[in-house]
Amino acid sequence: MGDEIYHSHLDVFLLWACRETGVIAELIDGPKSPDTVAERTGITDRAATVTLEALADMGYLEESDGKYGPTAELDGFRPETDVLDKGILPHRLDVLEGYMDLPKLMRTGATPQHEMDELRRYMGAMATIEETTVRAVVTAAEHAHPQPDRVLDVGGGPGRLSTEFVRRGADVTLFDIPPVIDLLADHHAEAGLETVAGDATESLPDGFDLVFSSRVILTFSPTELRDYFDNAFTALDPGGTFMCTERTRDHSNDVERFAAHMLTISPDGHTHTAAEYKSALEGAGFVDPAVTDIPGTGFQAIVGHKPA
Ligand SMILES: C[S@@+](CC[C@H](N)C(=O)[O-])C[C@H]1O[C@@H](n2cnc3c(N)ncnc32)[C@H](O)[C@@H]1O
């Protein structure tokens, strides 16, 4: 057995333990020696010494005169860091906690509970989507429906894709669940986005020529997916287009692993084949359903058109 038994896990486990024991909060407060960290957090001297040395070796801390202070890698843990600048690391620690809950979730199928702080960190992580992916996805949407005037971005979250549609000249309404709309109201207003709060499986606002969503539908059960597709159809003007961006069975390399990850996120999430998506689109009334790879991304474009 080689060293790899701990390499891939140790960073995130160690950071998680440091968050839990208050070590990260102490270090963000200002550089400290291992002795001071041990005294203030109640961890042992040995744990403080080896942990701070290891985190420095990993690039999360820097040492000067026997005191350890945070590098920019830990900025996402600062309470004052804006929600959309938190990066992916704080959310990765929440994901780890979710994985440690897996035995319970697997036995009970229970709904994972997520608190407001976790939502902030989740949105921070979603905002790290790569710019090349954003552009490729929005370009795929424009291939499906050239120059849309009125776009509804369902489950738009931090609004990175919405903002790209705005940059290309569309009026965009970002739709998401109420806590997300409340949390990010200032950011969305600043980005020039209209917002509507609600549940896409219940109803959507109407009057759009493109209804779009990215990375949302795997959280839906098959019934919720059909309800969402029905609502998207109603939300479109005649001649409008619906496009979801998602990982699709038979097309995506990591959809099976992502489905296992979804056990910790959604009570009913589900993956589908291209044929199942096309059938659900036709069931909602869409014509010319298509599922195609979006170049340069791991995602597919799932597209249907509302007859004119
Ligand atoms: C993985 S994030 C994707 C955010 C954004 N679309 C992107 O690709 O960067 C999923 C988003 O869908 C939203 N969402 C999940 N279920 C929803 C529902 N039933 N109605 C509206 N929004 C929903 C979540 O709140 C979250 O903002």
Task: Delineate the domains of the chain, giving CATH numbers in brackets.
Answer: 4-76 (1.10.10.10), 78-126 (no CATH), 131-252+267-305 (3.40.50.150)
Average pLDDT over the chain reads 94
Among protein residues, the one whose CA lies closest to atom 21 of ligand 1: 176
Query: 266: pLDDT confidence band, cut at 50, 70 and 90?
Result: confident
- Residues with Cβ within 8 Å of 20's Cβ and at least 6 positions away in sequence, in order, are none
pLDDT in tens, 104-159: 989 988 877 778 899 999 999 999 999 999 999 999 999 999 999 999 999 999 99
pLDDT in tens, 9-30: 899 999 999 999 999 999 999 9
Q: With contact defined as beta carbons under 8 Å apart, do 112 and 99 qualify?
A: no
- Ligand 1 atom at shortest distance from the alpha carbon of 127: 9
Packing angle, helices 89-100 and 116-126, rounded to 10 = 120
- Ligand 1 atom at shortest distance from the alpha carbon of 157: 27
Section 276-302 average pLDDT: 96
Query: 4: pLDDT confidence band, cut at 50, 70 and 90?
Result: low
200 in ligand 1 pocket by Cβ < 6 Å? Answer: yes
The rounded Å distance from CA 43 to ligand 1 centre is: 39
- Ligand 1 atom at shortest distance from the alpha carbon of 213: 6
Lowest-confidence region among 91-100, 182-191, 202-211? 91-100
180 in ligand 1 pocket by Cβ < 6 Å? Answer: yes
**256-to-42, 76, 107, 260, 282 alpha-carbon distances in Å:** 41, 29, 19, 7, 25
Place of tokens 């290891």: 54
Among protein residues, the one whose CA lies closest to atom 13 of ligand 1: 155
